[in-house]
Amino acid sequence: MSKPIQEAVDQWGLPEAVEGSNGAAVLADMLDDVYMDRLKGGLGDKKKPSAFPIQQVLKGMAVEMEHTKDPLQALEIVVDHLSEDEVYYSKLEKIEAPKTG
């Protein structure tokens, strides 16, 4: 299991089903099942979390949960950002990485 998926399993107490070889697909389906588009007008309207790379969704959830206590709201913000750029959170990670040298 990839590190971001393992971290999500540990942090959010996700079921054992996520731990198999198809863990990313199971997790994406689970996120789709709970996802609701409550903030109208975002770029991600009518899109689901499974439309994006699961590692980006998980990175995004970690970032956005720093700004809200509502995981569904965080997920919706993630979908909006990833609709703009599918590697938004990888780019953000590089921008925010401490500079060395």
Q: pLDDT digits over 57-92, tens only? A: 988 988 998 998 888 888 899 999 999 999 999 999
33-45 tens-digit pLDDT: 777 777 777 777 8
The DSSP H or E segment spanning 12 is helix 3-12
Contact 49, 32 (CB under 8 A): yes
Provide the pLDDT for residue 1. 47
Calculate what percentage of the chain has a pLDDT beyond 90.
24
Helices 54-64 & 3-12 angle (0-180, nearest 10): 50
Euclidean distance between CA atoms 75 and 9, whole angstroms: 16
Question: Could you state, in order of their start, the residue ranges of all structural domains in the chain?
Answer: 3-96
Phi, psi angle pair for 53, to nearest 5°: -60, 130
Helices 23-34 & 3-12 angle (0-180, nearest 10): 50
Phi, psi angle pair for 97, to nearest 5°: -65, 140
